[in-house]
C-alpha cells in the first residue's frame, strides 16, 4: 500500500495545466503572423503553440534568466567541454550544483526537497536540452537516467553537479556514468 502511494506520487511530465481559461490580449501583428505560420508548419493549432510558448516562459525562462542563463549551440557547447580541463569542470560543477538548483527550485517551487530537485533535472531536459531524461519508480526505488551526446566531460560535470545538488538536502544517490549517460539511483522510501 505504501509503495502504491509512492508510485502515485511520481509526477507526470506534463505540466499540471489541467484547466484552461479564456483571456484576451492585444499583441503585435507581426508576432501573431509568425506564430500562426509556425503553427501551420508544425501541424498544430495556434492555441496549442501559444500555450506551449507561454508554458516555456512560465516553467523555465523566467527562472533561468535569474541565474544568467545563456544558450550556446550544441556544437559550441560540445567543443568547449572537450577543450576544458577536467579538474576545472569538477570545480565548476560542485560550485554550480550547490547553488544554482537551490536558487532555481526555490524560485519555482518555494521549497527545496527531493521531489523539487528531481523536477529540476526533468526541467533541464525538457527546456534546456542538456540531456534526455527517463525516470522509473517501483518498490525497489527510483532510477533516473540522463542520456546525452556531449562526451565524457559532460557526464563528469553532471555527476558532480548532481552530487552537490543532493548534498544540500542530505541525500546521497548512487551514481554511475559513461561518456553518454549518467544513471542516478535512489533507494525506496
Binding region for other proteins (CB under 8 A): 1, 3-4, 6-8, 10-14, 38, 41-44, 48-49, 52-53, 55-56, 74, 122, 125-127, 129, 132-139, 145, 149
Q: Which residues contact 48 (CB under 8 A, 6 or more apart)?
A: 39
95: its cell numbers: 560550485
Which residue number, 5 or 70, has a Cβ lying nearer to other proteins? 5
Considering the complex, what minimum distance in angstroms separates the CB of residue 74 from other proteins?
7
Which residue number, 1 or 70, has a Cβ lying nearer to other proteins? 1
Considering the complex, what minimum distance in angstroms separates the CB of residue 129 from other proteins?
6
Query: How remote is the C-alpha of 20 from its chain's centroid?
Result: 24
Q: Which residues contact 42 (CB under 8 A, 6 or more apart)?
A: 49
CA distance 119 to 124: 9
Considering the complex, what minimum distance in angstroms separates the CB of residue 2 from other proteins?
8
13: its cell numbers: 511530465
Which residue number, 61 or 175, has a Cβ lying nearer to other proteins? 61
Which residue number, 76 or 86, has a Cβ lying nearer to other proteins? 76
The candidate with the shortest Cα–Cα distance to 86, out of 181, 152, 178, is: 152
Considering the complex, what minimum distance in angstroms separates the CB of residue 50 from other proteins?
10
Amino acid at each position: 500500500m505504501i509503495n502504491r502511494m509512492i508510485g502515485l506520487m511520481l509526477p507526470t511530465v506534463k505540466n499540471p495545466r489541467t484547466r484552461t481559461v479564456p483571456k484576451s490580449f492585444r499583441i503585435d501583428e507581426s508576432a501573431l503572423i509568425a506564430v500562426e505560420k509556425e503553427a501551420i508548419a508544425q501541424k498544430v493549432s495556434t492555441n496549442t503553440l501559444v500555450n506551449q510558448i507561454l508554458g516555456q516562459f512560465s516553467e523555465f525562462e523566467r527562472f533561468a534568466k535569474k541565474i544568467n542563463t545563456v544558450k550556446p549551440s550544441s556544437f559550441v557547447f560540445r567543443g568547449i567541454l572537450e577543450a576544458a580541463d577536467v579538474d576545472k569542470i569538477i570545480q565548476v560543477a560542485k560550485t554550480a550544483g550547490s547553488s544554482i538548483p537551490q536558487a532555481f527550485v526555490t524560485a519555482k517551487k518555494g521549497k527545496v526537497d527531493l521531489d523539487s530537485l528531481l523536477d529540476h533535472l526533468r526541467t533541464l531536459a525538457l527546456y534546456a536540452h542538456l540531456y534526455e531524461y527517463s525516470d522509473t519508480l517501483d518498490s525497489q526505488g527510483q532510477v533516473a537516467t540522463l542520456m546525452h551526446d556531449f562526451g565524457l566531460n559532460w557526464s563528469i560535470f553532471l555527476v558532480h553537479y548532481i552530487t552537490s545538488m543532493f548534498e544540500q538536502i542530505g541525500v546521497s544517490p548512487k551514481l554511475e556514468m559513461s561518456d553518454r549517460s549518467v544513471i542516478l539511483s535512489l533507494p525506496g522510501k
